[in-house]
């Protein structure tokens, strides 16, 4: 027995030592991965700042779950934080090592109009500082060209070209599918223009929704084309917009030739020609590859000079993405997470004011109210509150903006959508097709309601609609108090209608036009801080430790967005339409609670390229409705 015990003890000690060694091995591998993944400030030397944007620009990149990516075999699309690009360009203006800036837009997937306009303004400042800006892509469409227009020289591949299409298009309506499957969508809403739920009720778009969206699209596209015309005054793109088919046929389908002759681009050449051109001007790369020039990355430049921290801090809190209940990492506005950041700023005695940066289409009413109450608590402590609206601040995004002393928006901001809704599916008719019916005994008219597997009773419908109407009245009341208007005045511009920033300013929904810099300056003014005696301090949700550890250990493989010609970009748009289809069908089945959500705002930014889809996920969504 003694020998057996000794053997078992040695075995247990061996297992312990093995596990300890494995833990240390994993720890040091993860530490090595973290260190090697960090940008190298030493790589910054005389040469070109290369902005190689292989993905989209967002206000707050979403956290990546590496395990989910591995299990679903769906790589996320990389997102670039707008303020990182802005700071890199600010540094480029005054850094003698930066001789020029190159925009590689071959794999660029876009961003919101406000984000692109802000980056464009910084590119103009770089040029005024005497540093050329160069842009290259196989093909340009709206978002890519909005950035490229600010370049000193625009290159395009001879096999590519430029094609501007403008916002808008069609969306899907599911009334016919629901009728065929027997699924009933019980929708409770208030607002003539609350068209978010129309796809479940109609087979086409209502006249009211067309009127509202047409007005917003016209203003939105007008500000975009005006910005392009200002940045690129010699570009003659009016003919292409007026009659694109005739313009393209006139050059026998040679879009590159059309782009050059219309002044939309300056030179035709492939990537190697572009690289050789820059190498001749700014030096060849040490890698000695054909078409490579001396360059360094945005991350390396940012790492070479940390932001200044002089003076008192102004807290900047970002509410980006859908507003949801509970907790979440970056890229989502979770009620618990965002409100906790606000309370953390309140408890920090050094913080003199709060700027809330909003880029959200809304979502949960309860989470929106949770964030609003946290801001009200900040006001109770006499902290100035300034809201800076980015691409989207609609519905719930407007709800959380109401406590501000001052609200800033930009011409391309989409806001308003003051209205709420709820949606519940019922499958009674669908199940009846298979001989499944329901019956029972009730002790009250609402017993067993809502009966999602049977028929929702008229009594429940009346109760739910009444609750939604009360919620809408609450929304109007909060807006009227915040904006010093009567509920009737607010109702006249509410009803779920969306507005572009300039019109929202005229209607009194926002106070001033301007971006994050103007909002920070206003916050400093309200806090009575001197011009150079403050700095922004960003309060942001921290990524989950386990996810961050695994990301460094296994690595995050972003989707490889290859260079795209016009047909490839059209395919990407088709993929996004499929994403929208899946999301629409999924929402009918998964929406929880009353929603202050602008679903029709999806085309205006705020992580519109964030979700991925596949034919399998589309099939699954339809099967959920059919089974």
B/e letters for 516-535, b = 16+ CB within 10 Å, e = fewer, are: bebbbbbbbebbebeeeebb
The torsion region of residue 487 among left (phi > 0), alpha (psi -120 to 50) and beta comes to alpha
| Tens of pLDDT, residues 270-299 | 999 999 999 999 988 877 777 788 999 999
Kind of pairing, strands 414-416 and 498-500? antiparallel
pLDDT at 611: 45
Tokens of 398: 């407007």
For the chain, report the end-to-end CA distance as a whole number of angstroms.
Answer: 62
| pLDDT-derived band at 340, boundaries 50, 70, 90 | very high
- High-pLDDT (> 90) share of the chain, %: 48
Separation in Å, CA 520 to CA 92, 505, 527: 22, 19, 10
Question: Which H or E element spans position 134?
Answer: strand 133-140
Long-range contact list for 552-556, CB < 8 A, 24+ apart? 552/30, 552/33, 552/34, 552/37, 553/26, 553/29, 553/30, 553/33, 554/66, 554/70, 555/33, 555/66, 556/64, 556/66, 556/69, 556/76
**pLDDT band at 622, cuts 50/70/90?**
very low
Residue 564, pLDDT score: 65
Mean pLDDT is lowest, of 49-53, 421-425, 512-516, for 421-425
Whether residue 560 has pLDDT greater than 50: yes
> Are residues 475 and 496 in contact, defined by beta-carbon separation less than 8 angstroms?
no
Cβ-Cβ contacts under 8 Å for 620 (sequence gap 6 or more): none
Q: How far apart are CA 413 and CA 401, in angstroms?
A: 13
Secondary structure (DSSP) of 588-602: HHH--S-EEE-GGGG
Alpha carbons 483 and 473: distance in angstroms, whole number: 15
- CA dihedral 515→516→517→523, nearest 10 degrees, is 120
How far is it, in rounded angstroms, from Cα 88 to Cα 455? 58
Pick the catalytic residue from 54, 99, 194, 352.
Answer: 194
DSSP assignment string, 176-192:
HHHHHHT-EEEEEE--T
pLDDT tens figures, 487-510? 999 999 998 888 999 999 999 999
Assigned token pair, 224: 């975009």
What was the pLDDT predicted at 615?
Answer: 41
Nearest to 352 by CA among 329, 382, 332, 377: 382
The more confident residue out of 239 and 406 is 406
**DSSP secondary-structure letter at 346?**
H
* Active-site residue, 194 included: yes
Q: Tell me if residue 395 is catalytic.
A: yes
Lookup result for tokens 């009594």: 459
Q: Considering only CA atoms, which of 534, 535, 552, 554 is closest in space to residue 543? A: 552
From 339, 395, 551, 612, active-site residue: 395
Better-predicted residue by pLDDT, 208 or 85: 85
Q: Is the pLDDT of residue 207 over 50?
A: yes
Instruction: Give the whole-angstrom CA distance, residue 309 versus residue 538.
Output: 11
Please indicate whether residue 32 or residue 413 has the higher confidence score (pLDDT). 413
Phi-psi region at 220: left, alpha or beta (left = phi > 0; alpha = psi -120 to 50): alpha
Q: Is residue 624 pLDDT above 70, yes or no? A: no
Which tokens belong to 61? 């990149």
How many beta carbons lie within 10 A of that of residue 75, not counting itself? 16
Indicate the pLDDT class of residue 341, thresholds 50, 70 and 90.
very high
Q: Is 505 exposed, middle or buried (0-12, 13-18, 19+ CB in 10 A)?
A: buried
Query: Does the pLDDT value for residue 53 go beyond 90?
Result: yes
How many Cβ atoms sit within 10 Å of the Cβ of residue 170? Answer: 8
- Which ranges of 318-427 does DSSP label H, i.e. alpha helix? 335-347, 365-380, 396-399
The pLDDT confidence band at residue 181, using thresholds 50, 70 and 90, is: confident
Least confident residue range of 135-139, 202-206, 365-369: 202-206
Lookup: tokens for 128: 């005024």
CA atoms within 13 A on the CB side of 544: 14
pLDDT at res. 115: 94
- CA 622/CA 627 separation, integer angstroms: 9
600: CB partners within 8 A, 6+ apart: 171, 195, 196, 209, 213, 498
Tallying the residues shown for the chain, one arrives at 627
The 10s digit of each residue's pLDDT in 377-396 is: 999 999 999 999 999 999 99
Q: Where are the beta strands (DSSP E) in 277-340?
A: 295-297, 312-320, 323-324, 333-334
At residue 28 the predicted structure's pLDDT band, cuts being 50, 70 and 90, is low
Say yes or no to pLDDT of 193 above 70.
no
For the stretch 574-611, pLDDT in tens is: 666 666 666 666 666 666 667 777 767 766 764 444 44
Question: For residue 542, which of 384, 404, 337 has the smallest C-alpha distance?
Answer: 337
Average of per-residue pLDDT values in the chain: 83
């Amino acid at each position: 027995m003694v020998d057996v015990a000794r053997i078992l003890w040695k075995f247990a000690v061996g297992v312990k030592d093995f596990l300890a060694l494995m833990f240390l091995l994993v720890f040091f591998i993860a530490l090595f991965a973290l260190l090697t993944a960090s940008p190298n400030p030493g790589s910054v030397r005389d040469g070109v700042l290369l902005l190689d944007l292989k993905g989209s620009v967002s206000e707050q990149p979403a956290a990546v779950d590496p395990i989910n990516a591995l299990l679903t075999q769906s790589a996320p699309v990389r997102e670039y934080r707008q303020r990182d690009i802005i700071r890199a360009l600010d540094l480029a203006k005054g850094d003698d090592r930066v001789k020029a800036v190159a925009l590689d837009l071959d794999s660029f997937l876009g961003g919101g109009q406000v984000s692109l306009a802000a980056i464009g303004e910084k590119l103009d400042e770089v040029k005024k500082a005497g540093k050329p800006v160069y842009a290259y892509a196989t093909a340009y469409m709206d978002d890519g060209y909005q950035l490229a227009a600010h370049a000193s020289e625009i290159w395009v591949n001879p096999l590519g070209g430029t094609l501007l299409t403008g916002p808008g298009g069609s969306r899907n309506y599911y009334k016919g599918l629901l009728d065929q499957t027997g699924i009933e969508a019980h929708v409770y809403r208030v607002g003539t223009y609350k068209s978010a739920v129309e796809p479940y009720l109609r087979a086409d778009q209502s006249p009211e929704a067309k009127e509202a969206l047409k007005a917003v699209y016209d203003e939105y596209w007008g500000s975009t084309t005006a910005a392009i015309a200002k940045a690129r005054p010699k570009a003659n793109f009016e003919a292409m917009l007026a009659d694109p088919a005739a313009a393209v046929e006139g050059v026998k389908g040679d879009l590159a030739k059309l782009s050059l002759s219309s002044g939309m681009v300056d030179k035709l050449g492939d990537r190697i020609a572009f690289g050789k051109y820059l190498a001749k001007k700014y030096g060849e790369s040490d890698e000695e590859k054909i078409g490579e020039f001396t360059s360094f990355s945005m991350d390396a430049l940012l790492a070479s000079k940390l932001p200044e921290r002089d003076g008192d801090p102004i807290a900047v809190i970002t509410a980006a993405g859908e507003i949801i209940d509970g907790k979440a990492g970056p890229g989502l506005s979770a009620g618990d997470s965002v409100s906790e950041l606000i309370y953390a700023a309140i408890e920090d005695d050094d913080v003199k004011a709060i700027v809330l940066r909003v880029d959200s289409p809304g979502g949960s009413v309860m989470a929106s109210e949770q964030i609003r109450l946290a801001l009200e608590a900040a006001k109770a402590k006499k902290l100035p509150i300034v809201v800076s609206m980015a691409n989207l601040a609609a519905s719930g995004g407007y709800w959380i903006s109401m406590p501000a002393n001052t609200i800033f928006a930009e011409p391309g901001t989409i806001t308003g959508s003051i209205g709420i809704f709820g949606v519940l599916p019922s499958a009674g008719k669908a199940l009846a097709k298979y001989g499944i019916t329901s019956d029972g005994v009730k002790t009250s008219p609402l017993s067993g309601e809502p009966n999602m597997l049977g028929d929702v009773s008229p009594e429940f419908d009346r109760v739910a609609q009444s609750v939604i109407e009360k919620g809408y009245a609450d929304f109007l009341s909060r807006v009227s108090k915040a904006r010093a208007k009567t509920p009737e005045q607010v109702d006249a511009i509410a009803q779920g209608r969306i507005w572009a920033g300039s019109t929202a300013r005229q209607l009194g929904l926002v106070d001033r036009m301007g971006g994050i810099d103007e909002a920070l300056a206003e916050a400093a003014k309200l806090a009575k801080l001197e011009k150079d005696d403050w700095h922004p301090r960003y309060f942001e949700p921290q990524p989950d430790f386990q996810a961050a550890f695994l990301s460094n250990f296994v690595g995050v493989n972003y989707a490889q967005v290859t260079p795209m010609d016009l047909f490839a970009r059209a395919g990407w748009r088709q993929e996004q339409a499929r994403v929208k289809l899946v999301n629409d069908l999924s929402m009918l089945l998964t929406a929880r609670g009353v929603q202050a959500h602008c679903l029709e705002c999806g085309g205006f930014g705020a992580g519109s390229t964030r979700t991925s889809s596949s034919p399998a996920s589309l099939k699954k969504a339809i099967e959920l409705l059919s089974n």
